[in-house]
Amino acid sequence: MSKIGVAHMEIVKKLELYRLENKITQQDLAKELGVAFSTVSRWFNGKTAPSKIQQYHVEKYLTQKKIIPPAKSGKEVK
């Protein structure tokens, strides 16, 4: 079993919850995030975690959808 960080798992859980609540397919979510369907599927199955750049884009996506608050770094995600 791979070691996936807690922060990665939390962001994936939030993404999955958003997807389910809004009836978005994994395929459509993958298109919106600019990644392959298999990438999203692996995240949700716990096989892999988003890379740092993927996590940045997932956080940006969830911030735009008002699921998570903007980053505390002082830089606003646009």
What's the chain's average pLDDT? 88
Domain containing 49 equals 6-64
| pLDDT score at 18 | 96
1 pLDDT higher than 50: no
Determine the average pLDDT of the residues in 19-35.
Answer: 97
pLDDT band at 36 (very low <50, low <70, confident <90, very high): very high
pLDDT band at 13 (very low <50, low <70, confident <90, very high): very high
- Residue 59 maps to a domain: yes
Q: Look up the CATH number of the domain holding residue 18.
A: 1.10.260.40
- Residue 27 maps to a domain: yes
Q: pTM of the predicted model, to two decimals?
A: 0.80
Provide the number of structural domains found in the chain: 1
| pLDDT score at 9 | 86
- Residue 70 maps to a domain: no
- Residue 58 maps to a domain: yes
Q: Are 71 and 77 in contact (CB under 8 A)?
A: yes
In whole angstroms, give the CA distance from residue 76 to residue 48: 28
